[in-house]
């Protein structure tokens, strides 16, 4: 009597490579292997299981409506099958997982796949496997920070996305295994980016960001030093930026707070957090040095900083 095994891992954890090595081990011992995967997996080819490290093997690709138990019976009648191996099992339906479960009264069934989608939710096939498998084991991989990867981040133009259909086929160009803290960090970065970067085109080449004003004098004494009344576009940018939790704006305290020094700051190759902290620093200085923001907008310095934020995320020049 066999067992139903579910071997899961985050993106990039060598699940397909493990499935192919398992196939090799069985075949090396003279056993017959039925290697399968859902037809929806079209990353490389529909007729093979392919690993990033270069391993591959022909397989049978099945539709979501196909009865896997009946297919096994048909193939087993032609030539005895000793084990079934399923790659990308998360794309199986609940019913197909139950069909695979029914085969284990005769042979082992090994399923390899993701536990959760890019939204952090269980796939239908994975959920049913967790509920009825005999053996549940994790294929571990690491996040870019060195911690264990547990989440599957989907990136669109460099920004983490949790929107869209559950099944969105892609490989390294779209998905990345992340630990939970890094997943939350990328989520925060996406929220900030989407809120801030929309102002890039609005503020670019802006010739007049606002008008200077003072309170009315009383007995020839000005009650308040001149300040800038910014237009709605600038006010909207400032309001959106106030909602952002910027890390370490104090890192710029050693920079001269005059406009010439700020204009000369080299931003090439600076990362997202650096640029956000730089803008936060300028908004803080504006309270002490009215008109600083106006000057940096009108000479396109702020546009340059926003452009670097965009470039640091999507690695593409803004046009």
Place of tokens 């099944």: 167
Q: Are the C-beta atoms of 117 and 14 separated by less than 8 Å?
A: no
Helices (H) and strands (E) in the chain, counts: 11, 13
Question: Rounded distance, CA 64 to CA 70, Å?
Answer: 14
**C-beta of residue 110 within 8 angstroms of C-beta of residue 25:** no
Active site residues: 88
Coil/strand/helix, residue 227 = strand
Burial of 23 (0-12, 13-18, 19+ CB in 10 A): buried
Rg, the chain, Cα only: 28
Which residues in the chain belong to E strands, given as ranges?
Answer: 4-8, 33-38, 48-50, 56-58, 60-62, 83-87, 109-113, 135-138, 151-156, 159-161, 175-178, 210-213, 227-230
How far from 69 is each of 94, 103, 104, 120, 310, CA to CA, in Å?
13, 7, 10, 30, 51
Is residue 205 classed exposed, middle or buried when 0-12, 13-18 and 19+ CB atoms within 10 A define those classes?
A: exposed
């Amino acid at each position: 009597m066999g067992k139903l095994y579910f071997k899961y891992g985050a993106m990039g954890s060598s699940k397909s490579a493990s499935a192919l090595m398992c196939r090799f081990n069985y075949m090396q011992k003279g056993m017959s292997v039925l290697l399968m995967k859902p037809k929806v997996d079209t990353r490389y080819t529909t007729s093979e299981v392919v690993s990033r490290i270069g391993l591959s093997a022909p397989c049978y690709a099945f539709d979501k409506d196909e009865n896997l138990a009946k297919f096994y019976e048909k193939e087993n009648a032609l030539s005895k099958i000793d084990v079934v191996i399923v790659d990308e099992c998360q794309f199986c339906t609940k019913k197909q997982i139950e069909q695979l479960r029914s085969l284990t009264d005769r042979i082992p069934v090994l399923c390899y796949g993701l536990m959760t989608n890019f939204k952090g939710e269980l796939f239908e096939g994975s959920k049913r496997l967790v509920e009825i498998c005999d053996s549940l084991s994790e294929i571990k991989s690491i996040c870019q920070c060195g911690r264990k990867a547990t989440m599957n981040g989907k990136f669109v133009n460099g920004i983490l996305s949790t929107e869209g259909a559950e099944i969105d086929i892609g490989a390294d160009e779209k998905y990345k295994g992340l630990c939970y803290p890094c997943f939350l960090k990328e989520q925060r970065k996406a929220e900030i980016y989407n809120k801030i970067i929309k102002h890039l085109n609005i503020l670019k080449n802006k010739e007049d960001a606002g008008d200077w004003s003072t309170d009315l004098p009383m007995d020839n004494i000005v009650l308040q030093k001149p300040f800038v009344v910014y237009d709605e576009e600038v006010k909207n940018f400032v309001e959106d930026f106030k909602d952002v939790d910027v890390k370490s704006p104090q890192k710029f305290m050693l920079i001269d707070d005059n406009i010439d020094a700020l204009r000369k700051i080299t931003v090439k190759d600076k990362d997202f957090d650096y640029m956000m902290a730089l803008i936060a620093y300028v908004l803080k200085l504006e309270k002490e040095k009215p008109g600083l923001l106006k000057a940096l907008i009108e000479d396109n310095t702020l546009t340059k900083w926003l452009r670097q934020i965009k470039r640091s995320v999507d690695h593409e020049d803004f046009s």
